[in-house]
Structure 1
């Protein structure tokens, strides 16, 4: 299954929406946003999700929508995180070392907010549950 392809994004949406530690926690905060994902060398993200009240209501190819968050890493780094999801320290290191780049969004502010930080870290763990 192609990373961030339609099938992958649909499977990720199912994982996210079925995870109370992510969707439920974000719903309790009234969290709504758009999050792009992709590769740093590309002019646009490969895909994105639209989150409303903690639940992903759209997951698929990037269509030019305004993004609140745009996270980029190399395909190899994304695959590594699928195999071994990072924790809080691992994500902090990835940002500091440039392995995870934010083209939109404020990582420092988000990670200091407990209502967002926990679900953010756990959302990387869901990537490893996406299977063909």
Structure 2
């Protein structure tokens, strides 16, 4: 599958639903740590392409578990992650986002947060671990 074809599917409704299934398989690494926070993690998390007017896909997370996923339809967001297509492609192939990529703005190939308290998350290991694991989970998404 070429990059252009992969980008057409990235964050599509089917891709997001497959991401939800993979996320929820990670009970010990993502779901339980987020559910066991003092304030259990509940959020609408969107993903998209830097420079677009709105994100492409969204996960609805309740107490660490994704309960719904699909195309973004105007949901109120707690997190909105954006990057250039080539950056998403690199991270999905690697199964991780690099620390330097997290420090660079999206316009320079880094991970951008349109919405969300990035600095608070970076300082909280209980959130940072599941966040980093989510990139490994994304790399396993396979939409035929």
TM-score computed with the length of structure 2 as normaliser: 0.85
SS at match of 1:94: helix
Q: Distance in 2 between matches of 1:55 and 1:96?
A: 27
User: What residue number does 2:132 align with?
Assistant: 121
Larger CA Rg, structure 1 vs 2: 2
Q: Which runs of 5+ in 1 are unaligned?
A: none
Q: Distance in 2 between matches of 1:61 and 1:54?
A: 20
Q: Does 1:25 align with 2:33?
A: yes
User: What residue number does 2:3 align with?
Assistant: none
The number of equivalent residue pairs is 129
SS at match of 1:60: strand
User: What residue number does 2:95 align with?
Assistant: 85
Q: Which runs of 5+ in 2 are unaligned?
A: 1-5
From 81, 93, 107, the equivalent of 2:118 is 107
Q: Distance in 2 between matches of 1:107 and 1:93?
A: 14
TM-score computed with the length of structure 1 as normaliser: 0.92
Matches within 5 A, 1:1-132: 2-20=9-27, 21-29=29-37, 30-86=40-96, 90=98, 92-98=99-105, 99-132=110-143
Q: What displacement does 1:3 show?
A: 0.5
Q: Distance in 1 between matches of 2:70 and 2:47?
A: 10
Q: What displacement does 1:96 show?
A: 2.0
Query: Any idea what the Cα deviations from partners look like across 1:35-66, whole Å, max 9, x if unmatched?
Result: 11001111100111110010001111111111
Q: What displacement does 1:95 show?
A: 2.8
Q: Distance in 2 between matches of 1:93 and 1:59?
A: 29
Q: What displacement does 1:117 show?
A: 0.6
- Aligned alpha-carbon RMSD (Å): 1.2
